[in-house]
Amino acid sequence: RGTMTVGETAKLLHKDASEVIKKLIMLGVMATINQELDIETIQLLAGDFGVEVEVKIPVEDDRFETMEEVDDEANLKTRPPVVTIMGHVDHGKTTLLDAIRSTNVTGGEAGGITQHIGAYQVEINGKKISFLDTPGHEAFTAMRARGAQVTDMTIIVVAADDGVMPQTVEAVNHAKAANLPIIVAVNKIDKPGSDPDRVKQELTEYGLVPEEWGGDTIFVNVSAKQRMGLEDLLEMILLVAEVNDYKANPDKRARGTVIEAELDKGRGPVARILVQHGTLKVGDAFVAGNCFGRVRAMVNDKGRRLKEAGPSTPVEITGLTEVPLAGDPFMVFEDERKARSIADKRAITQRESDMGANTRVTLDDLFKHI
Ligand code: GTP
Ligand code: MG
């Protein structure tokens, strides 16, 4: 909505309507309490009351972006869960990811050159799991800060010889704030002096109580290094996925999130994308952040060329005009012209908001409180 009434404006500015009307008269506007004000007037008013306002006029296409399309239940199909791994420094996140990846290459894919695409997919008994290989908390936090919801559940790795540490607590808090199911992987159980029960004990203080102690948090003892307990862990992930029944509609234009992107000397801008809705196809015109393009080539985490990729599939694509940012929304449009015009509009909005970077309250924020 581009307007608010005098009454609503007053409420948002925490002023009496009479004060707002007085100010309006001073601005040369004779208004009643139910009169609709345009954005410029609201901005002027806000300025007069010492509230800085950044104008974000909702563009038709941007509204499309934020609009949550409701899929018909009948069109939804079960999709693989998307899992992130978090935990304290050196507790074994990378080792665990690598161990899972290397133990679970399916026959046909064995021997394929593993690509670093910021995410990968494993298959267990015909069921897929996508792992986001985010470098620690930063990328995850950055993405969350940008409003990108990419993950379905999180594995918190805690080294059994070290116990709960500051970043463990941070990870628990992140997961809880994002309302994500948590599986605790108690790692390094091969180490002499490791004490898995101590980890459980310590985590109860943060509300993570193991099932055997009457709680509902899944704990799995693993050794990433010795590859112990990995099957149990994967089984638990599939169990959580089954309970939550993650679904998406694969039969529409793709949408997703940029996981990573960079400029490749030979191939130009390259983006790793998690497809979240719909199916991405080679040749599709898309917008990623402020960039647009057309999918020229698409490969999966095993370096295999794909013609299309459905929900929860991580892929690497080329065919962009510029390098987007991690966390940027990715969206396919009917043609390249449309994609380009939306990317251009976004770039302008971005520049405008960069110029007004010192403003604190956005008009969107104000409208949100109605
Ligand atoms: P950062 O990315 O730096 O936060 O660390 P990380 O959590 O990714 O830990 P990483 O996988 O790099 O492991 C840290 C150290 O712990 C390495 O020396 C690993 O070999 C070792 N390590 C990881 N898992 C195990 C395990 O199960 N047992 C033993 N004994 N050592 C492990
Ligand atoms: Mg690491």
- In this prediction the ipTM stands at 0.99
- CA 210 to the chain's CA centroid: 28
Residue linked to tokens 């992140």: 174
Residue 346 confidence (pLDDT): 80
- The rounded Å distance from CA 161 to ligand 1 centre is 12
By alpha-carbon position, which residue is closest to atom 18 of ligand 1? 90
Give yes or no for residue 126 having a pLDDT over 60: yes
Give the residue numbers of the binding site for GTP.
Answer: 87-94, 133-137, 187-190
By alpha-carbon position, which residue is closest to atom 10 of ligand 1? 92
Q: Name every protein residue with a CB atom under 6 angstroms from any ligand 1 atom.
A: 87, 89-95, 136, 187-188, 190-191, 223-225
List pLDDT tens digits, range 199-241. Answer: 999 999 999 999 999 999 999 999 999 999 999 999 999 999 9
By alpha-carbon position, which residue is closest to atom 26 of ligand 1? 188
Asked if 254 and 277 count as a contact pair (C-beta separation under 8 A), the reply is yes
pTM of the complete model: 0.77
263: confidence class by pLDDT, cuts 50, 70, 90 = very high
Give yes or no for residue 334 having a pLDDT over 50: yes
- The whole-angstrom separation of Cα 146 and Cα 135 is 17
Asked if 158 and 88 count as a contact pair (C-beta separation under 8 A), the reply is yes
Residue 244 confidence (pLDDT): 95
Buried b (16+ CB within 10 A) or exposed e, 76-101: beebbbbbbbbbbeebbbebbbebbb
140: confidence class by pLDDT, cuts 50, 70, 90 = low
- The whole-angstrom separation of Cα 122 and Cα 97 is 11
- The whole-angstrom separation of Cα 305 and Cα 143 is 27
Residue 110 confidence (pLDDT): 45
Closest CA to 56 of 305, 365, 343, 319: 365
Range with the lowest mean pLDDT among 54-63, 121-130, 318-327?
Answer: 54-63
Proximal ligand: closest to the CA of 95: 1
**Please, which contacts does 200-209 make with residues 24 or more away whose CB atoms are closer than 8 Å?**
202/163, 202/164, 203/158, 203/164, 203/168, 203/172, 205/164, 206/164, 206/169, 206/172, 207/172, 207/176, 208/172, 208/182, 208/184
Give yes or no for residue 141 having a pLDDT over 70: no
Give yes or no for residue 116 having a pLDDT over 60: yes
List pLDDT tens digits, range 339-368. Answer: 898 888 888 777 776 665 444 445 555 444
Residue 63 confidence (pLDDT): 40
Quick count: other Cβ atoms within 10 Å of Cβ 282? 16
- The rounded Å distance from CA 92 to ligand 2 centre is 7
Give, in degrees to the nearest 5, the angle at Cα 184 between 243 and 228. Answer: 100
Query: Between 268 and 367, whose confidence is greater?
Result: 268
Residue 195 confidence (pLDDT): 94
What percent of the chain lies above the pLDDT cut of 90?
A: 49
Most confident of 20-24, 115-119, 269-273: 269-273
Structure tokens at 274: 């998690």
Indicate the top mutation candidate among 84, 86, 90 to test ligand 1's pocket, ranked by most ligand atoms within 8 A of CB: 90
- The whole-angstrom separation of Cα 76 and Cα 73 is 5
Give yes or no for residue 249 having a pLDDT over 60: yes
Average pLDDT over residues 187-199: 95
Residue 349 confidence (pLDDT): 74
Q: Average pLDDT over the chain, rounded to whole?
A: 83
Residue 237 confidence (pLDDT): 97
Give yes or no for residue 139 having a pLDDT over 70: no
